[in-house]
């Protein structure tokens, strides 16, 4: 069975990706299985570059099929911040709570119509030395003033989807796995994987 390495240590991300790619004859692993892998410095100018950096470093190290994924949230009022700095918005060692607190403080007193946001995801697939492709997905919403729900991770408890009247933190994971930025990007990744491993 072919191995697909997800170039992440984020357990929440790995769980979502495994769920979205089930159906393929793949052994899906992560950097947790490669403790000696080189450090990844995410110094790209955008999500696409960072996804490629992650995939390329781990593909060069292992010679295997690798997904590099970079995602984050862009808030219109904040000139699309935190963007590529989403996971370290409040500092390099910031927790989800730290990042959320900084975001909510930055939007204090700002009315709903100016709290528009979108989650974005870019995924790069590299097979050994060959770049198979880079794809993306996005999902539109609003930032709430209070957290709602225990599902998901990152900014999910504050990311409100109008059509469902719920945050990503409240949304059934089965629905999130159809409409999220990551779901949309990984639907496109499936087509790339088929090029490599067939059906």
Active site residues: 70
Report the distance separating Cα 147 and Cα 120, nearest Å: 20
Do residues 139 and 156 touch, judged by C-beta distance below 8 A?
no
Report the distance separating Cα 31 and Cα 38, nearest Å: 10
Do residues 122 and 51 touch, judged by C-beta distance below 8 A?
yes
| Buried b / exposed e along 33-66 (16+ C-beta atoms within 10 A) | ebeeeeebebebeebbbbbbbbbbbbbeebebbb
∠ CA 23-29-31, rounded to 5°: 150
* 56, two tokens: 């390329």
99 φ, ψ (degrees, to nearest 5): -65, -45
Of 35, 31, 66, 32, nearest to 52 by C-alpha is: 66
Can you tell me whether residue 133 is helix, strand or coil?
strand
């Amino acid at each position: 069975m072919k191995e697909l390495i997800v170039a992440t240590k984020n357990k929440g991300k790995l769980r979502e990706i495994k769920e979205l790619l089930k159906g393929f004859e793949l052994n899906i692993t992560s950097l947790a299985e490669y403790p000696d892998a080189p450090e990844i410095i995410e110094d790209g100018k955008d999500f696409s570059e960072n996804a490629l950096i992650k995939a390329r470093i781990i593909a060069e190290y292992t010679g295997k099929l690798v997904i590099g994924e970079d995602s984050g949230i862009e808030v219109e009022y904040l000139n699309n911040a935190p963007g590529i700095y989403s996971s370290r918005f409040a500092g390099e060692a910031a927790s989800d709570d730290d990042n959320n607190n900084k975001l909510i403080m930055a939007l204090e007193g700002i009315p709903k119509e100016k709290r528009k946001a979108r989650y974005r995801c870019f995924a790069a697939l590299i097979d050994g030395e060959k770049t198979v492709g880079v794809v993306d997905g996005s999902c539109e919403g609003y930032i709430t003033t209070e957290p709602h729900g225990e599902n998901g991770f990152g900014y999910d408890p504050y990311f409100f989807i109008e059509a469902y009247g719920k945050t990503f933190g409240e949304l059934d994971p089965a629905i999130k796995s159809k409409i999220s930025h990551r779901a949309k990007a990984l639907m496109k990744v499936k087509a790339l994987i088929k090029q490599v491993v067939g059906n």
